[in-house]
Amino acid sequence: MLRTRIVGTGQYLPPRILTNADLEKLTDTTDEWIQQRTGIKQRHVADPGVGSSDLGAEAAKRALANAGISPDQVELIICSTMTSDYLFPSAACLIQDKIGAKRAAAYDLNAACSGFVYAVTMADALIRSGVHKTILVVGADIMTNRLSWEKRDTAVLFGDGAGAAVLQGEEGERGVLSTYLGADGASYDLLYLPAGGSKHVICCENIDNLDLGIVMSGRELFKKAVAAFCDAAENVLRATGMTIDDVDLFVPHQANTRIIFSVAERLGLPREKIFVNIDRTANTVAATIPIALDDAVQQGRLKAGDRVLLVAFGAGLTWGSVMMRW
């Protein structure tokens, strides 16, 4: 059976680091408060003038190098981002140029924090159907330049970064076993950015009257996230005929350790099987899972044949999961 396998991963984090101690000087918060509620100790911040495609291109180059794949072999680039450099063109097209993948088609996918899982699902379908053989999936987001630092409920959560994975079709048992996607557009207003889109365009005439910050209903979002995480995990496990005991490594979207551990407790998953790196990266939106996968590879937490469960939840609301044999 032809399966879609991740053959290389890579990541890039901007060199500038903003610690919780630094945030104490910008907003009404403390290191203890942030760590207790999120598990975050620091985040990386992109310099002014740097775009998501810049981060994504660096992560992509590293993923290709680790996979032993040349840019000319890439047939499609899917960039999952909600912070593209421009409204148009896509960040994927900019990444295509920056890495020299001249033969590749390219497009962006916006499913917020669930974006990487959505993109892997799209790539898996295209590879198994024979449309493409080699696909580069990139998750890249820059959130810190759109935060309102006085809003501590959102200011402490996000960081900037990019992760990438090279996917290819292979015969055998390794690779993507099943995927699952979900959405709830009726709850969009639990987490959204009111201004900047086609409904509320930012211009000189209205900029003083617009809410330029992220709107988040934290308590309700927490409940929705835990339920959606569990739904996604249970559905993809059911589709593969596996149970939670069969999972060797759980790689969740890195939004909040309280969410992650609440989900693990409901599923009956021991903490030693959970990969968490939010303490050093914060929430990098679509980049969290590919960055975590690359960290897991570098730390020796993943070996051939391991059964890996990816689960994400994000604005939209969106959620999804991927079960794979590494």
Confidence of residue 147 (pLDDT cuts 50, 70, 90): confident
Report which secondary-structure segment, H or E, holds 244.
none
Q: Which residue has the tokens 């890195």?
A: 254
Which pLDDT value is given to residue 52?
Answer: 98
Which pLDDT value is given to residue 179?
Answer: 98
Spatial contact of 74 and 134, defined as CB atoms under 8 Å apart: yes
Other Cβ atoms closer than 10 A to 93: 21
Residue 316 has pLDDT above 90, yes or no: yes
Q: Which of 79, 93, 253, 277 is catalytic?
A: 253
Residue 170 has pLDDT above 70, yes or no: yes
Asked whether this chain's domains 2-174 and 177-325 adopt the same fold, the reply is yes
Between the two ends of the chain, the Cα-to-Cα distance in Å is: 15
Report which secondary-structure segment, H or E, holds 86.
none
Clarify whether 283 is annotated catalytic. Answer: yes
Domain 177-325 CATH superfamily: Thiolase/Chalcone synthase (3.40.47.10)
* Full DSSP string of 197-240: SSSS---TTTGGGS--SPEE-HHHHHHHHHHHHHHHHHHHHHHH
Which pLDDT value is given to residue 96?
Answer: 99
Clarify whether 253 is annotated catalytic. Answer: yes
Please tell me the distance from the alpha carbon of residue 273 to that of residue 240, in angstroms, as a whole number. 19
pLDDT digits (tens, 9 = 90+) for 192-241: 998 888 887 877 766 666 666 889 999 999 999 999 999 999 999 999 99
Which pLDDT value is given to residue 206?
Answer: 63
Q: Which of 20, 113, 132, 256 is catalytic?
A: 113
Helix ranges (H only) for 68-185 are 91-99, 115-128, 152-155
pLDDT over 90 percentage in the chain: 89
pLDDT digits (tens, 9 = 90+) for 236-279: 999 999 999 999 999 999 999 999 999 999 999 999 999 999 99
Other Cβ atoms closer than 10 A to 129: 10
Which pLDDT value is given to residue 208?
Answer: 64
Which pLDDT value is given to residue 297?
Answer: 98
Clarify whether 79 is annotated catalytic. Answer: no
pLDDT digits (tens, 9 = 90+) for 99-110: 999 999 999 999
Spatial contact of 141 and 287, defined as CB atoms under 8 Å apart: yes
Q: Which CATH number fits domain 2-174: 3.40.50.300, 3.30.420.40, 3.40.47.10, 3.40.50.720?
A: 3.40.47.10
Spatial contact of 140 and 81, defined as CB atoms under 8 Å apart: yes
pLDDT digits (tens, 9 = 90+) for 23-57: 999 889 999 999 999 999 999 999 999 999 999 99
pLDDT over 70 percentage in the chain: 97
Q: Which of 20, 66, 110, 283 is catalytic?
A: 283
Residue ranges of domains in the chain = 2-174, 177-325
Which pLDDT value is given to residue 205?
Answer: 67
**CB within 8 A of 55, min separation 6: which ones?**
12, 13, 14, 46, 140, 142, 160, 161, 162, 287
CA atoms lying within 13 Å on the CB side of residue 317: 22
Which pLDDT value is given to residue 197?
Answer: 82
| 3-state SS assignment for residue 180 | strand
| Chain mean pLDDT for the chain | 95
Which pLDDT value is given to residue 180?
Answer: 98
Which pLDDT value is given to residue 207?
Answer: 64
